[in-house]
Amino acid sequence: QKEVEQNSGPLSVPEGAIASLNCTYSDRGSQSFFWYRQYSGKSPELIMFIYSNGDKEDGRFTAQLNKASQYVSLLIRDSQPSDSATYLCALSGDSSYKLIFGSGTRLLVRP
């Protein structure tokens, strides 16, 4: 089992809808969780990070963490075509800055 699991997609949503991206992980010792966005042919860029159980909101983005169920999700409200990209979930442990990435979910927002 891979350490970080993501559905590869593509996840297709209409413009203005809520896009929900999910990620599960196997290591209960994981402490920090990150969502990166990567446009085709470009480098990853951080969207959000979350440490604590619950929700964290930043503009149109909400990260949700449930450590008991070992999943983290990213909600994108009012999705725009410019949100079309691959979204990478990543995590790190307690004593290391080593990030472990999922394979990413490709999101398509239809105009």
Partner 1 sequence: DAGVIQSPRHEVTEMGQEVTLRCKPISGHDYLFWYRQTMMRGLELLIYFNNNVPIDDSGMPEDRFSAKMPNASFSTLKIQPSEPRDSAVYFCASSLDPGLGETQYFGPGTRLLVL
User: Contact residues for partner 1 (CB under 8 A)?
Assistant: 32, 42-46, 49, 51, 88, 92, 96-104
DSSP 3-42: SEEE----EEEETTSPEEEEEEES-TT--EEEEEEE-TTS
Provide the minimum distance between the beta carbon of 14 and partner 1 in the complex, in angstroms, as a whole number. Answer: 28
Provide the minimum distance between the beta carbon of 111 and partner 1 in the complex, in angstroms, as a whole number. Answer: 28
Provide the minimum distance between the beta carbon of 38 and partner 1 in the complex, in angstroms, as a whole number. Answer: 8
- Of 99, 110, 111, 78, nearest to 36 by C-alpha is 99
Nearer residue to partner 1 within complex by CB, 38 or 70: 38
